[in-house]
Amino acid sequence: MFQFDTLDNGVRLLSAQQDESPSATALVMFGVGSRFEQAEQSGIAHFAEHMFFKGTERRPTARDISVEIDGIGGDFNAFTGKEYTGYYVKCAAEHLELAVDVLADMLLHSKFDSDEIEREKGVILEEMAMYRDLPQRYVGNVYDDLLFGDTPLGWDIIGTEDVIKGADRDLFKSFTDRWYTANRTVVGLAGNISQGARDAVSEKFLALPGANEGTRAPAEWSQEGPRVKLHHKDSEQAHLLLGVRAPGLESDDRYAIGVLNAILGGGMSSRLFTEVRERRGLCYYVYSHHDAYMDAGSLVVAAGVDTSRIDLAITTILEELAKLAADGPDDAEFAKAKSYLKGKFVLGIEDTRGLIMFGARREAVENGYWEPKQALAAIEAVTMDDVRRVARLFESEQRNLAIVGPFDDEARFAALLETGAAVA
């Protein structure tokens, strides 16, 4: 499905030709995110994402850029993670060459104008305040800090107020010049791709500088015993993340962990949804996921619960983890979980944007793209023994619990984790 090419400077071009598709997507993915920041740069990867939309010499203002994409009815956006950053345009296939031109102009020729930087600081600070007011999201920051502490993996992607307020053009350039280099860049095209769009990539992205030394900060994640971190917020619902440490994306167990998660918290027939919400009515939402970076990860249960019943919700979750660790899944739920994962994967890549994001993210972060059929085969290859083995991760006494809600007594929740670890 994918065609792979490398430009002379090391930029990789990944394309998926779909002649019958009326739409197309152009994506530029950098294998760089907030994990690559120093403390004095915290938040600059995300802030830079905003600034790339603010004007170039050819398109001097943000409006000049947006007018071109709006004029073709395109979907235009960007995102920053801890290990990658992406910029994309999805549009009618006939306009793909323009989409490539706009992305290349933004990413290679942005002005980082000082007045624009000052204006955008207010936007970033408001975004920061908004996320703090969304406990279901903010609990993820609390959990990352609990696991990784004062390290790039533990820092919030959006950064700190001090860094944002003090940011200037030199700070942006010190980060982007070092990390936005050809060897970390993947350009993805998917859909009915014209030769003009391919030629535009080959021509324009040759201007990216070549390799620069350096890599991400290593994960620091040693732990002894259960740990709890609370963020006090007066509310009638508490949001929690409860998890154990697990292998990251480099591990051969990533797909076995995916099947395990589907059994535990994937969908409305999963163990957690059935027991914690349907049978006991302890929460509004509950699910599990593998929160994974290249060299570190965590198996995490997320839930929004009634504050007056949070203790029972936590012990019920721990009981379900213990049962799965002790007995493993049965044949029916094992088969259903694999079908669930394959179905979700197929739905995720059925449009041009989802397809090219799948390939480009793997190529940018893991230095090797997969064909979709390889991912489906990896899910199918998971055995019952694999799932039973990774389920034993829940036996660990190194449990972690982050809560956003009206609580201050960490010892109360640490005692619940101690009891749950003993049960397992």
For the stretch 239-266, pLDDT in tens is 999 999 999 999 999 999 999 999 999 8
Picking from 231, 247, 228, the residue whose alpha carbon sits closest to that of residue 239 is 231
Structurally, how many domains does the chain consist of? 2
Instruction: Kindly state the percentage of the chain with pLDDT values over 70.
Output: 99
Distance separating alpha carbons of residues 261 and 287, to the nearest angstrom:
9
**Contact of 32 with 45, CB cutoff 8 Å:** yes
- For residues 290 and 202, membership in a common domain is answered with no
Residue at 101 is within a domain: yes
pLDDT at 422 over 90: no
CATH of residue 295's domain is: 3.30.830.10
Last residue of a domain, one of 172, 207, 242: 207
Q: What integer pLDDT is reported at residue 420 of this predicted model?
A: 62
- For residues 235 and 128, membership in a common domain is answered with no
Q: What integer pLDDT is reported at residue 222 of this predicted model?
A: 76
- The length of the chain in residues reads 424
- For residues 138 and 77, membership in a common domain is answered with yes
pLDDT at 424 over 80: no
Distance separating alpha carbons of residues 137 and 233, to the nearest angstrom:
13
**Contact of 406 with 233, CB cutoff 8 Å:** yes
Which residues participate in catalysis according to the annotation?
Answer: 49
pLDDT at 267 over 90: no
Q: What integer pLDDT is reported at residue 391 of this predicted model?
A: 94
Q: What integer pLDDT is reported at residue 397 of this predicted model?
A: 85
Q: Which residue has the higher pLDDT, 378 or 215?
A: 378
Residue at 213 is within a domain: no
Q: Is 78 helix (H, G, I), strand (E, B) or coil?
A: strand
Cβ neighbours around 75 below 10 Å, total: 12
Picking from 16, 196, 180, the residue whose alpha carbon sits closest to that of residue 95 is 196
pLDDT at 421 over 60: no
Q: What does the block give as tokens for 150?
A: 């004062």
Sign of the Cα torsion 163, 166, 170, 172 reads: positive
- For residues 186 and 315, membership in a common domain is answered with no
DSSP alpha helix (H) spans, 60-192: 62-70, 96-109, 114-132, 135-148, 161-166, 169-179
Distance separating alpha carbons of residues 269 and 336, to the nearest angstrom:
10
Distance separating alpha carbons of residues 99 and 88, to the nearest angstrom:
8
Beta-strand ranges (E) seen in 164-282 are: 185-191, 227-232, 237-246
Q: How confident is the model at residue 224 (pLDDT cuts 50, 70, 90)?
A: confident
Average pLDDT, the chain: 94
Distance separating alpha carbons of residues 419 and 297, to the nearest angstrom:
24
pTM for the complete prediction?
0.93
Picking from 69, 5, 36, the residue whose alpha carbon sits closest to that of residue 181 is 36
Q: What is the CA radius of gyration of the chain?
A: 23
Picking from 424, 420, 400, the residue whose alpha carbon sits closest to that of residue 410 is 400
- For residues 201 and 268, membership in a common domain is answered with no
**Contact of 76 with 69, CB cutoff 8 Å:** yes
In which domain, by residue range, is 274 found?
A: 227-423
Residue at 219 is within a domain: no
Residue at 35 is within a domain: yes
pLDDT at 66 over 80: yes
Distance separating alpha carbons of residues 387 and 390, to the nearest angstrom:
5
- For residues 261 and 146, membership in a common domain is answered with no
As to burial, measured by CB atoms within 10 angstroms (0-12 exposed, 13-18 middle, 19+ buried), residue 63 is: exposed
Q: At what angle do helices 96-109 and 62-70 cross, to 10 degrees?
A: 170
Distance separating alpha carbons of residues 110 and 49, to the nearest angstrom:
11
- For residues 182 and 327, membership in a common domain is answered with no
